[in-house]
Chains A and B, each alone.
Chain A
Amino acid sequence: MKVLVALKRVADPDNANKIKIPPSGEKIDTAGLEWKLNPFDDYALETALRLTENGKNPKARLGEVVVVTLGPKECETTLRAALATGADRAIRVEATDEELDGRIVAAALKTIIAEEKPDLVLMGKQAVDGDNNQVGQSVAELLDWPMATFAATITEEAGAVVVGREVDGGVLTLKLGLPAVVTVDLRIVAPTSVYSAQTDRAHKYAEGVRFAALPAIMAAKKKPLVVKPLAEVAGGMSRTAHYSKFEPPPQRKAGVKVQDVAELVAKLAGEAKVI
């Protein structure tokens, strides 16, 4: 199967405390922040690799994985890392972060997907910088393809994928005829979450994502990476979501430490009046 994965590099959310908002509030100051692949996209890439191999023999690649990003030149580091992990080809759409919003990213990806004709498009359920949770659903609509968001499990069947989605109150399972779009949730990288048609259903993966071996990092430098201008894939569009101001959230103050259960219960009843 041929899988296309959309990847975005984001300001490391675990370093988010370092996000600085100048008093004017006009933009978020990303200077000094570490960049890394959006964690959900990391999981989408791992999912793509699992779906294009026999889990028992991952060295023999059985399909093709194409990774795509929209962003400035620096994002090529992210693409090269994905190539080193096992992706076959990369596409970067030249764009500054200021030029993009979810609507444009979706339109651009639609153009690329129409050219590439993958069987499956995988994405993260959300990019953890903007927390939009928009692009996957939008791409599916623009293509008129079926979709499954918040995927926790994917099993390949003949011409289809069976996807377990994490929804309010439980797990909803859908069967999608290919081609389709799937956005992945955290637990997609658990040991028994993803099965390609070739992988034995008893196989257990190691928890989490795989890492590139050193020789693969060298080899990745030679894998194809093409760059396209934004105008070629999303011609004539400009952003329609505008941020006029940012502000830090109100800070909560640390309260008191209680000595024991009795004191806790007394405070909750007498002081906070919540029980």
Chain B
Amino acid sequence: MADVLVIAELSDGKVRKTTLSAITFAREAAPLLGGGFSILVLGAGAKAAAAELTGFGAAKVYACDDPSLAQYTAEHFAPTAAAVGKSFGVVVATASSFGKDLLPRVAARLDAAYAGDCSAVSGEGGKLVYKRPMFAGNAFGYCTLSTPLQVVTVRQSEFAPAAPSGGASPVEDVAKAAPGAAAGRVQFVSLEQVKSARPELGDASVIVAGGRALKERFNELLEPLADTLGAAIGASRAACDAGYAPGDYQVGQTGKIVAPKLYFAIGISGAIQHIAGMKGSKTIVAINKDSEAPIFQLSDYGLVADLFQVVPELTAALKAKKAAG
């Protein structure tokens, strides 16, 4: 019997929605191990944030509330995550930039094997089997870990956000574990956030993504379309590299992995690294002037056209439709 520990992620003192995917994993994995799960919240204001997580069926919600944790750095977070984690069988977080940064460090501290970015979990003879996308999504591997303690991150797009199940998990304070020498040499300088009223890429049910073809008119063309649809904006690597879109808009193998209800690929050729990040979308629309573009091989609806002409048309048509109710 072993239990699962979920590491919660905070943003401005509030629980980030990413946490709810790790909870879903815990709900699936714990019964396979014959155990339950708990949640660890780390940060300044963790105590208040922990109260947001008491209704999910966790045996306990641990809160490590410490002013030195106001800004996330792995060097300050990993020792406490490991200290709490060591009495569990599995430590999990969602594979956001936070989880991907922190959890391998926690794994090394616990001498635990690690499986990153898992898309499903199953049980076999009392052991967990993790399904992982590899080779830019061109293969799934089924992975087992043979250390007594295991550390994993899970894909947000593959584990639906957990809904509250009622109950009131007790909140327990934990003291911050003494950090190592590493913590003394890391200093937070700044966090430049792209503030936007649009939904986050990971949560959006509609995404409008643009490629290199949009050039300097990326925002001018995509923002009105996204706003009409209530969509998040994504981009190809080429569009980010060229500076048309910020780096954190990137969708793909090495960017965000998304699976919205509706995905627009506009002026995106459909390289394997891009497809790896969006092929789980329910409906895919491609707009490209090249009828041979690989993106058409996986899109449900393809429009061969000049985007500079049809994107404004599409925005206008959707607006008109909305106005008509």
Contacts and interface: CB of A to CB of B under 8 A. Distances in A.
Indicate, yes or no, whether A interacts with B: yes
B192 A137 contact: no
B48 interface: no
A81 to B, nearest CB: 22
B141 A246 contact: yes
Contacts of A262: 317
A147 interface: yes
Interface of B: 11, 73-75, 78, 96-98, 100-109, 111, 113-117, 129, 132-147, 180-194, 200, 202, 206, 229, 237, 240-241, 246-248, 253-254, 256, 261-262, 271-273, 279, 282-285, 291, 296-305, 310, 313-314, 317-318, 321
Interface stretch (A66-74, A124-132, A219-227): A124-132
Contacts of B103: 137
Contact of A137 (B108, B262, B297, B318): B108
Nearest to B179: A144
A272 B142 contact: no
Interface stretch (A14-22, A48-56, A83-91): A14-22
29 contacts: A13-B253, A131-B135, A131-B253, A133-B100, A137-B102, A137-B108, A139-B108, A140-B74, A142-B108, A147-B182, A152-B247, A166-B97, A166-B248, A167-B248, A169-B11, A169-B248, A177-B187, A185-B247, A242-B145, A242-B146, A243-B141, A243-B143, A247-B139, A254-B298, A256-B300, A256-B302, A257-B303, A258-B302, A274-B283
A265 to B, nearest CB: 5
Contacts of B310: 260-261
A246 B229 CA distance: 38
Given A167-B248, A255-B301, A128 B185 contact: no
A173 interface: yes
Interface string A130-151: 1111111111111111110110
Contacts of B181: 144-145
Contacts of B261: 274
Nearest to A138: B108
Nearest to A243: B141
A264 B104 CA distance: 44
A168 interface: yes
Nearest to B117: A131
A71 to B, nearest CB: 17
Given A168-B98, A240-B147, A137 B302 contact: no
B261 to A, nearest CB: 5
A95 interface: no
A246 B140 contact: yes
Contact of A247 (B140, B273, B300, B303): B140
A275 B301 contact: no
B304 A257 contact: yes
B246 to A, nearest CB: 7
Contacts of B104: 102, 133-138, 141
A140 B190 contact: no
A31 interface: no
Contact of B299 (A17, A21, A255): A255
A244 B122 CA distance: 13
Contact of B138 (A16, A103, A152, A244): A16
A19 B134 CA distance: 11
Contact of B273 (A13, A176, A187): A13
Interface of A: 11, 13-14, 16-17, 19, 21, 28, 40, 101-103, 106, 125-126, 128-147, 149-150, 152, 162, 165-178, 180, 185-187, 190, 240-249, 252-258, 260-262, 264-265, 267-269, 272, 274-275
Contacts of B304: 257
Nearest to A110: B108
A134 B143 contact: no
A255 to B, nearest CB: 4
A131 B133 contact: yes
A141 B76 CA distance: 11
Contacts of A134: 104, 107, 114, 116
Contacts of A136: 104
Given A241-B115, A242-B143, A170 B301 contact: no
Nearest to B139: A246
B135 A242 contact: no
Given A13-B136, A152-B247, A246-B139, A272 B108 contact: no
Contact of B74 (A147, A175, A267): A147
Given A140-B182, A257-B296, A261-B313, A125 B254 contact: yes
The 9 closest A-B pairs by CB, nearest first: A177-B185, A255-B300, A137-B104, A141-B108, A138-B108, A240-B113, A146-B186, A173-B189, A167-B97
Contact of A128 (B135, B192, B317, B321): B135
B73 A174 contact: yes
B192 A170 contact: yes
A180 B183 CA distance: 11
Max chain B C-beta neighbours (<10 A), residue from A132, A149, A264: A264
B285 A176 contact: no
A264 B134 contact: no
A186 B75 contact: no
B231 to A, nearest CB: 10
A252 B272 contact: no
Given A103-B113, A103-B114, A169 B140 contact: no
Contacts of B136: 13, 16, 128, 131
